[in-house]
Structure 1
């Protein structure tokens, strides 16, 4: 591996059909060494050979983003092997896409979503900041959703088509991710680390979604890769979909 190779970590990569794997593939094709992580290492490991066959340098690490020890162990592994991290993509998410409303939401399930999506993202970001500071061009991309926007005309909290199910917990956690993005960007600007949130759009990450209008996963990942590779004078603390700003 070249000493100047950029190192990218993507959390929540366990399926070839997922947005995380497609993002890893596109970043690898741009010359990144990609480290993919999953809750269980044996979910991510088989994907390494797939990336390798495409000529992409890849590694895997186990990360349970709800567990301090797991995240710290991953930090120490990456620190020992690479000494830095150039790009962190917070992709891991827990979602129960059911028809629960605010009134009948199972609060134990809500707690799981908050613990994973909000606290877990915060935990991973917090623990990897020291390694990101070792990069000359540090970047953080938080995978969000237009469902976490108040005013997005199609998917926002005020305008979301309830025929998909109300899914309030997921939407609220993504609104929180957008807020975390703003605060993290302000704190890390002094180190030249750019932090943005990206909505990949409605993508076909599961069978049958194409029939509901979902687009190819490669289209959704393209916007993530764009945010991950913006120049040093690029935007920070903003929310994008397809390279365009999404209203908060």
Structure 2
């Protein structure tokens, strides 16, 4: 099957791979602390170090209260736009809901990927489009889904920052101020339907790397390769 192209072109692919590798070991606090230290040492920032209690809550949990814009989603023709929010958990819940919600009869696979591109950070060195493209059915499978009229709807999305990430930030809060990227795990119920009355449902979870710089709306950096508790 053909591999979907990257949603975001340019940037340092080596850096993106290292970012994903770092996110992939979030459960090991020591390794995550090392990643954060490398991010902090990679450049200078004039922003003050955020307080862990305010920027990464110890018991964070959020629903998709920051809803993506639906003005351009009439009849499922396009993909929801990202919300205006400074909350990494609200943004992550909204993105996961969009990622898992589609109508294959009314949007092409290419247009769906193009819509998801709008959620990415403009800082290409942090944006990994391939990680998101890998979550979307490839063109051949999408075509088969369209033939059977398959739709997917995500609901009840909840998001939280993994404990390992929170602890690592608390131990070294200055490490966050290089990229302002948060790890956020989202869970939701996904209902799938197709022609002839066929239906199915499943619980899904994904861990996202969300960039939320002070004074700016949050944006997507990547989908992490592992889901964390």
TM-score normalised to structure 2 length: 0.29
Q: Kindly indicate which of the two structures has a greater share of residues assigned to strand.
A: 2
TM-score normalised to structure 1 length: 0.27
